[in-house]
Amino acid sequence: MATHAKPEFRPKVQPHRIDEVVLGVSDLEKSLSFYQDSLGFEVEVVETDRVVFNVGNARLVLESLPDGQVPEPRGQGVRLYFAVHDVHGHFHQAREMGVTPLDPNETGFVLVEEPVTQPWGYREYRVEDPDGYQLFFRQKIEVME
C-alpha cells in the first residue's frame, strides 16, 4: 500500500458531510419499488431516468443508465450503511415485504433470522438491492464490557 506524504499546507475549507450518493441501476422501476416499498425510503422526486430519496440530511439518487455505462458486475465494491432508529422493526418490515436479510459479516448469500450484534457497538443486517449494491441497516447500541 502506498503511503502519502503529509502536505505542508492543509486546506481550511473541507467537506463537512456527504450530500448525495448516486447509484447507476439497470431497472429504475424495480429499484424504485425495492427502495420505497420494501425498505421504506422516502421519495423526493421521480423522473423518467432518476429517482431521488431523502435519507436524513442527504439524498440517495438512482439513475437509469444505458447498458454498458455501469461496470459489471454492478454493485461490486459498494457498501452503503444506513442508520435506523429500530433495526429489529426495520428488519422484520423488510422481510415481510420479501427482502432477504443477509449476514453483515459474510460476503456471500448467508441468511440471518435477526440483526447481528457487532462487538464495535452496532446491531445490523445487510441486503442486496436488485443491482447487487450492498445495503447495511444498523442501530447504535451500548457495548457491554
* Domains defined for the chain, CATH in brackets: 20-66+75-140 (3.10.180.10)
- pLDDT, tens digit (0-9, with 9 covering 90-100), for 44-57: 999 999 999 999 99
- pLDDT, tens digit (0-9, with 9 covering 90-100), for 88-140: 999 999 999 999 999 999 877 888 999 999 999 999 999 999 999 999 999 99
Separation of alpha carbons 108 and 95, rounded Å: 18
* 63: enclosing H helix or E strand: strand 58-64
The model carries a pTM of: 0.85
Pairing of strands 134-140, 79-83: parallel
